[in-house]
Structure 1
Amino acid sequence: MKKQVLSISAAFALVLAGCGAATPKEEPVKSEETSHNDMQGMDHSSDGSIPEGLTEAVKPTYPVGSEAIIETDHMEGMKGATATIVGAFETAAYSINYTPTDGGEKVLDHKWVVHEEIEDPAPAPLDKGAEVTVLADHMEGMEGAKAEIESVEQTTVYMIDYESTTDGEEVQNHKWVVEDELSEK
């Protein structure tokens, strides 16, 4: 009886294994949306131009010329890199959801666009859920895109230079990281 049960169990296991082998691998479902940190391959440097009306921070935690450790991963290669502070400004920073004007996939939680990079904004800070037109050109297809405010922080924002921890790429004038995304070196 034990041999019969073992034989039936072994046969059943073999059938199941065979079915599994015949089952094709499932392809990952391609999302119609992407998050900010899924945007590898884009140039994250900028020309360093400052939006009109952006106010320099009077006593920023990280003064221009100082260094700090990046504690965020907006893009691959940021987290843990040493940042050199290029600019420090007081403003409202927004995380936004938008569909690129060039037909790309919808971007969720893009961090950060500052108040001065919004077309004809109401007084700062705007509320979560507000619909805006983006003037920033941090990414391809961003400028002119319709966006929804995902989150808001009234804070100091920093423009930084850093070397990517993954490929050694020198990133210059990256816009923006907020104060709590940096730590003392």
Structure 2
Amino acid sequence: MRKRLMTTIAAGVLGGALVLTGCSTGGDQGQASPSATSSSQHQEHGSGSSSSGGGMEHPMAGGPAPAGIEKAASPKYPVGTHVTLTAGHMTGMDGAKATIVGAFDTYTYAVNFTPTTGGEPVKDHKWVVQEEIKDAGDQRLADGTEVTLEAEHMTGMKGAKATIASSTDQTVYMVDYEADGMTMTNHKWVVESEIKPAS
């Protein structure tokens, strides 16, 4: 009887530890170490309702460019160019070495949205392109426009209601880069002002 009781207590403690471990990845994810991050995910910087809010996860492989997006005719950084990123969208991104894998002409938006999976609203998510917004048409959307996202950059994004925070018509790029010992492929998106020549 005593042995069964000890086994039950041990199982309960272990179960509690597992629950706590699971919850820790949903808290302040911007502070998560690489070992606490799924091997197929990478943390976004500055998500949530405040600048220090919990991060959201991006897949390591970003997938193809959306259908209908127009390739840039003469981008400043052609496909295959080695560059340095200056964007701080995600942990380890600013200063990372990258390779351009796609360059496109479209309208690109920073958006505010609440994930379909719940949780805190995401403020100023950079970036979503015109072709990742439902029924966006081909005209630039004004700041404040309410839209539905079709992008799948992270869990809870596809189908989410969003508001346009700002936009740009700069050339937008897909990049492969390494950060925190992990390789991100086809990362969407980085605009031209967030890139500098490789040093």
Q: TM-score scaled to structure 2, two decimals?
A: 0.72
CA contact (8 A) 1:33 1:107 kept: yes
User: Which structure is richer in relative contact order (CA contacts within 8 A, separation 6 or more)?
Assistant: 1
RMSD over equivalenced CA pairs, Å: 1.9
Tell me the percent identity. Answer: 51
Distance 2:52 2:149 in 1: 15
Aligned with 2:144: secondary structure?
A: coil
4+ long deviations beyond 2 Å: 34-38, 43-48
CA contact (8 A) 1:104 1:141 kept: no
Match of 2:143 among 97, 109, 128: 128
CA contact (8 A) 2:48 2:123 kept: no
Deviations 1:95-121 (A, max 9, x none): 000000001210000000000000001
Aligned with 2:170: secondary structure?
A: strand
Residue 37 of structure 1 deviates from its aligned partner by: 8.3
| Letter paired with 1:97 | N
Deviations 1:123-146 (A, max 9, x none): 321000000000000011000000
Which runs of 5 or more structure 1 residues have no equivalent in the other structure? Answer: 1-30
* 1:39 counterpart residue number: 55
| Letter paired with 1:63 | P
CA contact (8 A) 1:97 1:110 kept: yes
Matched ranges for 1:76-95 at <5 A: 76-95=91-110
Which runs of 5 or more structure 2 residues have no equivalent in the other structure? Answer: 1-46
Aligned with 1:155: secondary structure?
A: coil
Matched ranges for 1:66-105 at <5 A: 66-105=81-120
Distance 1:70 1:129 in 2: 28
Match of 1:52 among 56, 67, 72: 67
Matched ranges for 1:134-173 at <5 A: 134-164=149-179, 167-173=180-186
Q: TM-score scaled to structure 1, two decimals?
A: 0.77
